[in-house]
Each structure stands twice: as structure tokens, then as C-alpha cells.
Amino acid sequence: MASSLVSATSPLFFSITKRNAFGVPWRQLNSPILSTLKQGLLQTHLILQNNFIQNQLKYASSAKRVVRCVLGNQVQSEGDIDEVCELVNGVELVLGEEDSFNAYLLKAVKNNNGAAVLLLSDVFGFEDSGTRDFAYRLSCNGYNVLVPDLYRGEPWSKDRPQSEFEKWRRKHLPERVASDIDISAKWLLEEFSAAGISDKLGIVGFCFGGGRLVETLARDAQSHFGAAVCFYGTRFDPSLASQLKIPVLFIVGENDPLCPVDLLRQMESQIKGSHVCVYASRGHGFAHHPKSLEEDEDAEDAFNTMRSWLNKYLVQTRRNVKD
């Protein structure tokens, strides 16, 4: 396990290990640069902590929530369980050898359940605030969450003309993205599974990352993954469904033009134990980029549904195997 080098005293603290943005060992950095980086880390953890506190206040009045997605008997509902967020330790990483890329790992400190989750971002990248807030909240529920930079420092920007999107997308070759995902999964396995901490990995993907989730599971010949949650996945081949070996929870908005509900229903019928949760009147991205109070409520429901799914197929399964 990586050890902490820089920390703060608040509930969320970040540390950096191995290499850094300058590509040199920490001991070779002069003190002014290190001081600047410490200040940046402090600002980052305060921003994330504040965002999470605001979300907690927003949902504090709805501990007994209205369930919008019913999973049936296959997953125990956690709707009446208060969410308890504990300390989270954030570690910036550089993965890979010569052709390396960045990632960040969020680890639950006090309530760590031993389960590791690979989170694949949407086109806005691993530094997007919605993705980081989601990863942080998942981690503070007990998980170890790794988020790789699938776009090598060049994510799509909301202020760019839509006419440039396809040109941008072609820069990120599917083979390279798939390789980065496989390297990330391998790192998680070596860090947690090999140490006897986690037997199987979980995988969660948003939008473009959701599409890559399907592809990743299809090539998971050694069955490293035990749980999967796909939020409105895009740009994937639905025929891959027959190659998936584990149940997948598909979460989608009823009016999502990028992820047709009918397509997911077809895949659901081909993947044993899978389930599609459709949120009425919702469009694309509502679960991690809600734009209204109503979307906030559905985003909260979707998060808790995902939490129940991961608990059933990742945490409880692991405990049952040990027992």
C-alpha cells in the first residue's frame, strides 16, 4: 500500500506518493514548489469537503427516501439506512511504465470494507467536479475507488464547439483507452486482491465510461470483476452482452437520447441477473450532474441503488466466501 507523504487535519486529507506532476521524486523538489503543492492539496480537500457537506445537508431531511428504482428480492434495499461518511484518504498516482498516465485513488480510512472499485469517467475526465464528488462519496461509504485519466490530460471541454467533438474523440484511440483501463484494473488487483483485501473488483462507469465498462467486462476472461453499475453508457456494441459473465445494473433516464432504454432492455435479457433502472422524465447525466431539485432527488435514489448493488455483489459476496 502507498503511504501518506502530505496530509491535512480535516476529515478529508490528501497525500501524494511515488511520482508527481513534475515527473521527479518528491525528495528532489525544492521547498517552494513543495509548499505550493501542499497549498493546492489543502484547497482541493476543502473544496471537496464543502461540496460533500452541502450534499449531506441537501439530503438530510430524506433519510427514509421514496424508492424510485425497485430491484426486487435480489438486492436488499438500503433506503432506511443513514449514510455515514468517514475519513477519506486521497492519493495521486502515475500508472503504467514508459507510456504512463495519471489516476487518483480515494480510500476509506475508518470504515473501509476492503472492496475496490474502478470508476470510469465521462468525456469531461477524471478531474470533473461531478465525477470527483461522486467518487469521494462512494469512498466515504467504505470503498477504495480508483479513477484513471482516460484522456491523458485532454478531456472534452463544455465550452468547445460540438462540431469539434468527433475530431477530439478520434484522438483517443479505443485500443489505448482499453489498455489504460486494463492497467488500472491490474493495479487494483495487485494492490488489494493480491494482499488478500479484496477478492473481486467493482466497476462503475458514466456515459463514455459506461460504454467502456461493457467492453471491459466482455474481455474479462479471468473474471476479475464481481459487480458492475453502468450509468447511461454510450458508444458500445450491444452484442457484447452475451459475453458478460456478471450481473450489471443499468441506470438510465427515460428521455436519454444517447442511451436508448430499449437497447438496455435487450441487453438485460441476455445478461443473467442484470437489471435496468429507468428514471422517468430524466435525460442524460442526471445522476452525477443533476440540474434541478427533482434531478437531485433521482440522483440520490440512483446513488443508493448503486450502493445496494455493490453491497450485494461485492461486499456481501466477499464476506460469504470468507465465512
**What single letter denotes the amino acid at residue 253?**
G
Q: Is residue 17 part of a domain?
A: no
Digit-coded pLDDT (tens) for 139-196: 999 999 999 999 999 999 999 999 999 999 999 999 999 999 999 999 999 998 766 6
Strand 88-95 to 144-148 pairing: unpaired
Task: Give the pLDDT confidence of 49-97 residue by residue, as tens digits.
Answer: 545 544 544 443 333 344 467 775 444 434 434 455 668 999 999 999 8
User: Who has greater pLDDT, 54 or 301?
Assistant: 301
Does 23 reside within a domain? no
What range defines the domain where residue 122 resides? 69-322
Average pLDDT, rounded, for the chain: 80
Q: What is the pLDDT of residue 321?
A: 55
Given a contact cutoff of 8 angstroms between Cβ atoms, the answer to whether 155 and 127 are in contact is: yes
* Nearest residue to 197 via CA among 322, 97, 51: 322
How many structural domains are present in the chain? Answer: 1
* DSSP run (H or E) holding 14: strand 12-16
Q: Is 168 part of a structural domain of the chain? A: yes
Sign of CA dihedral 151, 234, 267, 118: positive
The predicted structure's pLDDT at residue 84: 58
Q: pLDDT-based confidence at 48, cuts 50/70/90? A: low
- H helices then E strands: how many in the chain? 8, 9
Contact between residue 222 and residue 195 where contact means Cβ atoms under 8 Å apart: no
Q: Which residues contact 170 (CB under 8 A, 6 or more apart)?
A: none
Residue 22 lies in a domain: no
Amino acid type, 208: F
- Residue 36 counted as domain residue: no
Amino acid letter, residue 299:
A
**52 close to 137: Cβ distance less than 8 angstroms:** yes
Residue-wise burial string across 283-304, b where 16 or more C-beta atoms lie within 10 A, e elsewhere: bbbbbbbbeeeebebbbbbbbb
Cell of 43: 484547497
Lowest model confidence (mean pLDDT) among 168-182, 194-208, 236-250, 255-269:
194-208
Structural domain includes residue 63: no
* DSSP 8-state code for residue 312: I
Query: Quick check: 212 and 150 in contact, CB under 8 A?
Result: yes
**24 within a domain of the structure (yes/no):** no
CATH of the domain at 250: 3.40.50.1820
Q: In angstroms, rounded to a whole number, what is the distance separating the alpha carbons of residues 127 and 302?
A: 22
Cα three-residue angle 294-297-300, rounded to 5 degrees: 150
38, 15 Cβ separation under 8 angstroms: no
Paired sense of beta strands 116-120 and 88-95, if any = unpaired
Note whether 128 and 149 are within 8 A (CB): no
The CA–CA distances, whole Å, from 77 to 43, 66, 275, 287 equal: 36, 12, 14, 18
Among residues 159, 149, 39, which one has the least CA distance to residue 103?
A: 149
pLDDT score recorded for residue 44:
53
**Look-up of cell digits 468517514:** 86
E strand or H helix at 104, and its extent? strand 101-108
- Domain contains 159: yes
Whole-number Å distance between alpha carbons of 197 and 155: 33
User: What was the pLDDT predicted at 322?
Assistant: 56
Contact predicate 86/94, CB 8 Å: no
